[in-house]
Amino acid sequence: MIDSRTTSRACVAGLALVLVAQHRPAQAQSYDAVGQDVRPGDGIPVGEWTFRPSIELRTHGEYRRRPFDTASPATTDAAVPDPVQDQGFLFARTRVGLTADQEAFRLAVQIQDTRAWGEVPPWRVDRRDSQPNTAPHVAYGELHTPGDHPSSLRVGRQEITWGEGRLLSSSDWSATGRSFDAARGLLVVGAFDIDAFASMLTPPGATPPDLRRDGQGRPEGTGAQLYGLRIAWHLSPLLLAEWNNLGRIVRNPVDGTVAPSDLGLTGLRLSGGFERVTWSAEGAYEVGRTAIVGSTENLRAFAAAARIELSTGLPGRLSVGVQGAYASGRKNDGATASGDDTRFDPLFPDVHDAHGPMGLYAWSNVIEAAAQLRMTPLDEVRVTLGWRYVAMAEPSDWWRTAALVPIGRSGENTNRNLGQEVDATIGYTPWEPLRIVAGYGLFRTGEGAKNILASAGRGRPDMQHCGYLQLTMHAP
């Protein structure tokens, strides 16, 4: 656990770094209103206010053959046989937003409606992706300083993404996306950004009986909260260093996805680029404790990831990239000899970009090696081809999707090999308001994946196919 003295020392150290910063060689992370950049002169002036309406329409259709990544909607710790052999679904999402600015003050609201039809995918059982869904996706007030890199204080529902979204992301690809009810402050001093927030994940109260498997409620509790502190140092136009810290406290009421627990995470991310090369490297370490019947378990887990991409200068603006990732798993689905749980928890990850278009694995109990080619033969067309090898850090531990839905586990499995994924994506933008994305993925199961699927009663499939088409229109 991270105690208050450790947190205080970290804050003092971060503030000391701010005081010695004298310049700002790189641009700060963007904190815009509802996903659109706000530029001077934009909007509709009305008296002292400037109003900026926005609208986004998305239609997503997807087909999967042998969708073994489905799970029971009633539990997160058991995968069940699924008779569906051909899965097709369609969802439509509409977002209507409005921001209002007056000098140093901003109000923003964005209403979202999502509808789904067909054999829908395994939505998160915390009901974030429940269909139909009509709710505010963004609703906050903000005070900010003037200038190109303003400091700000924002309170309300908002999107939060750090880095590449491996730990914390708005997860825009999912049906509803993700936003947080939070108070968030950004302090910009010289070459430093200090980004801190406190979010309420589950309000205090008692767990409703309909969220319990046994139909019985639980005693009242303080709910669940998420806290974050990110210090970014723009060392040069070629290098950005980010110190990321997250804390999650979970008490009753719980929704079944996370047990009552305390978790603290600290990590470092470096990224940059020069000439034709862009790169990033990230590592994270978790400590904490989880409640079990009559006792608690300690958590000690770690993860690392890195990528590099080279623009070749060849026709078609061809670029070549490689990446790798590791995240610890839990040995023998039990405690290690030291009594620690060693499975890494990625908290609130992106469900698409960081883990492959098919979303069949998470940054948890995983070993990944990947390569990709990107081509832009025309300004309106972008093509991406990818290959991924996926294995488990601990073969007897859980295999979970990018949305953290459990596929299954086998305590007797000793084979790490989950399989290989090949995918192709084509993006087409005929004009600025319209974006069309089509993709295909094939996952060929390895012996470890087959052992897990057989243990879950799903047979031993050789592969899964996935195809999708997505159209997004927005204004402005």
**pLDDT per residue over 218-252, tens digit each?**
678 899 999 999 999 999 888 999 999 999 999 98
pLDDT(141) > 80:
yes
pLDDT, position 24: 46
Least confident of 118-122, 209-213, 401-405: 209-213
The answer to whether 92 and 114 have CB atoms below 8 angstroms apart is yes
Q: Quick one: which of 468, 474, 473 has its CA closest to 91?
A: 468
The answer to whether 152 and 136 have CB atoms below 8 angstroms apart is no
The token pair that represents 242 in the structure block: 């980010």
pLDDT, position 295: 79
> Of the ranges 62-71, 126-135, 140-149, 199-208, which is most confident?
140-149
The count of C-alpha atoms lying within 13 angstroms of the C-alpha of 327, restricted to the half-sphere facing its C-beta, is 24
Q: Quick one: which of 35, 72, 74 has its CA closest to 52?
A: 35
pLDDT(102) > 60:
yes
Q: Quick one: which of 161, 198, 154 has its CA closest to 178?
A: 161
Q: Quick one: which of 163, 173, 84 has its CA closest to 120?
A: 84
How far is the C-alpha of 237 from the C-alpha of 390, rounded, in Å? 34
Structural class in CATH, domain 4-475: mainly beta
pLDDT, position 5: 43
Q: Quick one: which of 268, 75, 244 has its CA closest to 169?
A: 244
Q: What is the pLDDT of residues 274-332, one digit of tens each?
A: 889 999 999 999 999 988 877 789 999 999 999 999 999 899 999 999 999 999 999 87
pLDDT band of residue 41 (cuts 50, 70, 90) is low
Task: Name the residue with higher pLDDT: 121 or 7.
Answer: 121
pLDDT, position 218: 60
Helix, strand, or coil here: 16? Answer: helix
Q: Where are the domains of the chain?
A: 4-475
Q: Quick one: which of 23, 94, 82 has its CA closest to 57?
A: 94
pLDDT(180) > 70:
yes
pLDDT, position 212: 53
Which amino acid, one-letter code, is at 38?
A: V
pLDDT band of residue 71 (cuts 50, 70, 90) is low
SS (H, E, C) 291-346: EECCEEEEEEEEEEEEEEEEECCCCCCCEEEEEEEEECCCHHHCCCCCCEECCCCC
pLDDT, position 126: 53
Q: Which residues contact 21 (CB under 8 A, 6 or more apart)?
A: 189, 190, 191, 192, 233
Average pLDDT over all residues of the chain: 85
Least confident of 14-23, 367-376, 445-454: 14-23
What is the DSSP code (8-state) at residue 210? Answer: G
Cis peptide before 476 (omega within 30 of 0): yes
Q: Which residues contact 47 (CB under 8 A, 6 or more apart)?
A: none
